[in-house]
Structure 1
């Protein structure tokens, strides 16, 4: 393990211990009658943590943060923070992990809890057990403080360990879940009020709801992951037939994501473009293309005519999957040219689906930046010149102008950029451009 990571973990542990001491010095009072339920919730969080579900690779999803935050708003005290630390420690001891990982997880949980506690108290929040009224400012601040400290602490550890940008690491892992974080604000208050209004039955009922939601989310996520892996396996099978396009669809997907982000599409729209880009060539698995794909020399006019059927075959295959109906037009028309000279339907201009126009850029860029038997891969300057040359004929001139005018055009040539990261600026730009659509996204 890197020295920087070890030093960072020690700093988190020291900071969490200091935060616990500071919370005691801030208000050393203690009331067992108010502490009992937060202490119980810390153990509820413990059981939630040890039953966490694997969602991807070595990443686990758990709902323990909701009981922790509920405990804080019910009784914002140093004793509650101590109970959170004990719950987190028990959860870590119950799992087969190294000591340094356990220390980090406990430390960052306590530190996030301290951030929530101080945010709540300093902004005037009082124990919900003594005042049932919703206190929006301290409540929202507490939840967001906990989530931000928690996620940034983890992102920093990953960034240091892997030598990656901490901001990009955080964005990749958390931007897509911002909506769920907003729901957590209400969930924490609902959980707390369930106890205040109905006592322990309220806690048991709400825990039951959380367990159901957890298993529902786990099942949905696993199904989505399985479907994604099956699609990628299918795409790899197709590409085995063509020795010169191995990894082509994955690269086109990456380029398409970057282009879609740069012209201001929303995360949902980017994901649609991404799926279409991944599947744009699956029709090549059809037997009529096999001998042509394996041919080493130039194609005859007859063979080229057959190859021009592959967008139709791809769209037909994609159309057989009910969840992918929205991307069928994007797949079918990814070889249409802006001036109407493309195929298969000779659409032109804005008749061509926006996703298809984006994939046209990505597909062509991949062809230009890949070594072929008859030429070496082109560099960024040559690719830029080719895009300018064919803007308005092959390519949408509005997208071309937006892409080439962006300072982040070079992202396409950075092999470490997987196209998944949305910066805060990109999120704001996407919102702004959806309100005032530019020609590039029309």
Structure 2
């Protein structure tokens, strides 16, 4: 089960969205209590305790500020063991006790989302003929696959998609990330595991009823549950290791050129916004962000005296040395596996869309998308921070200047950049622009 912390509201629709999710979840719980079979108390209490435990020991960061717990496995098993109301209660109670979350709005949203996802999965299971509780006892292998396995798999897929949709909705209203982009991010980050771990939920149910182990089955599935948690801990640690590597490279650049650190951070934020507007995949967005963050890493191979001089005072030879930083930077990160795709974005950032740029004279779509985006982000930063720019130019003026040289930039990237700036404003650390 993926969850997300809620920061500060960036949209007037966020409170309405949160209220809608909570109200829908409560209504679902009430309706399932009134109109559907009620669960046995003993199994319900055990599953609630397991749900609480799973959420308390969750992996807090699997990327994109999203946490993951094996609560989804407990909810899936709940669909067959305690039905819709039981699954709703397990999901809701598990999230309400959150020792790490200080924002009550986030706690309420996560609890409502989890309860609704659990109940929805249980309803799908029932609609497809899934057998609840002791009804699975004595079923043949074929009957188990038909009346337990297939309905439980379908419930797992629906729960995964619903979890991704609800999360993406709150992130869209909270952070302005396009809904479709965020859905792909969630599904690529934890969706496969969400569905794949459904086999553990199926095992849990089989051990509970057909195998006749009852509550003791909870102990037997504990090992694979902890193994699932370990796998996500490793995944999260790998992502954090990547970020530490990036930070180390940027820090090294900052020791030589302090101002480059802020430029790198602004470029990364703006490049990510543009990539989102272009609808790139999560993997492509990550590549773009890495390329933008390290777009000036090649300055480590340029003499400091050249970097400190104004562009107007440089000779043509000195200008070529500085302009060659993109090739130098691409070479510097060669051999770092997770940055391999970003290398082309760094190397080709000075290409022109009409094919007259450096270093290889690539044109149009032959220029890597990361390089086309980095070219626009760096140009925007140059415009809003150019010497003597007072007052700071507006977004409309930035757009006019970018479009003033039609052979330089990809027009689709420029259009996405304007939309991103209109939506998000200027990246942190940028001077405040005048009104458009």
Q: Normalising to structure 1: TM-score of the pair?
A: 0.71
Aligned residue for 1:191?
A: 201
Aligned residue for 2:304?
A: 290
Gaps of 5+ in 2: 1-7, 137-143, 428-436
Instruction: Measure, in 2, the Cα distance between the counterparts of 1:418 and 1:208.
Output: 48
Aligned residue for 1:330?
A: 345
Question: 1:70, 1:189 within 8 Å by CA — same for their partners in 2?
Answer: no
Instruction: Measure, in 2, the Cα distance between the counterparts of 1:102 and 1:403.
Output: 38
Instruction: Measure, in 2, the Cα distance between the counterparts of 1:23 and 1:245.
Output: 57
How far does the alpha carbon of each residue in 1:349-391 deviate from its partner, in whole angstroms, 9 at most, with x for none?
6664443333223322332233424676544444444444433
Deviation at 1:284, TM superposition (A): 0.8
1:358 equivalenced with 2:381 (yes/no): no
In the comparison of the two structures, how many residue pairs are matched? 402
1:50 equivalenced with 2:65 (yes/no): no
Aligned residue for 1:69?
A: 76
How far does the alpha carbon of each residue in 1:290-347 deviate from its partner, in whole angstroms, 9 at most, with x for none?
1122224632223213212311221121114233233323322221334554334455
Computed over aligned residues only, the root mean square deviation of the Cα atoms, in angstroms, reads 4.3
Which SS does the other structure have where 1:390 is aligned?
coil
Gaps of 5+ in 1: 420-442
List aligned pairs for 1:248-259, cutoff 5 A: 248-259=263-274
Instruction: Measure, in 2, the Cα distance between the counterparts of 1:12 and 1:355.
Output: 36
Aligned residue for 1:24?
A: 33
Aligned residue for 2:314?
A: 299
Q: Normalising to structure 2: TM-score of the pair?
A: 0.72
Question: 1:318, 1:324 within 8 Å by CA — same for their partners in 2?
Answer: yes
Question: 2:60, 2:68 within 8 Å by CA — same for their partners in 1?
Answer: yes
Aligned residue for 2:281?
A: 266
1:110 equivalenced with 2:124 (yes/no): no
Which SS does the other structure have where 2:60 is aligned?
strand
Question: 1:38, 1:72 within 8 Å by CA — same for their partners in 2?
Answer: no
List aligned pairs for 1:6-405, cutoff 5 A: 18-28=27-37, 32=40, 37=43, 39-55=45-61, 60-76=67-83, 78-79=85-86, 81-82=88-89, 91-92=97-98, 105-122=110-127, 124-127=129-132, 130-131=135-136, 132-134=144-146, 139=152, 142-143=155-156, 146=159, 168=177, 175-179=184-188, 180-196=190-206, 198=211, 200=213, 203-235=218-250, 237-239=252-254, 241-242=256-257, 247-263=262-278, 265-286=280-301, 288-296=302-310, 298-347=313-362, 352-373=367-388, 377-392=392-407, 394-395=408-409, 399-400=410-411, 402-403=412-413
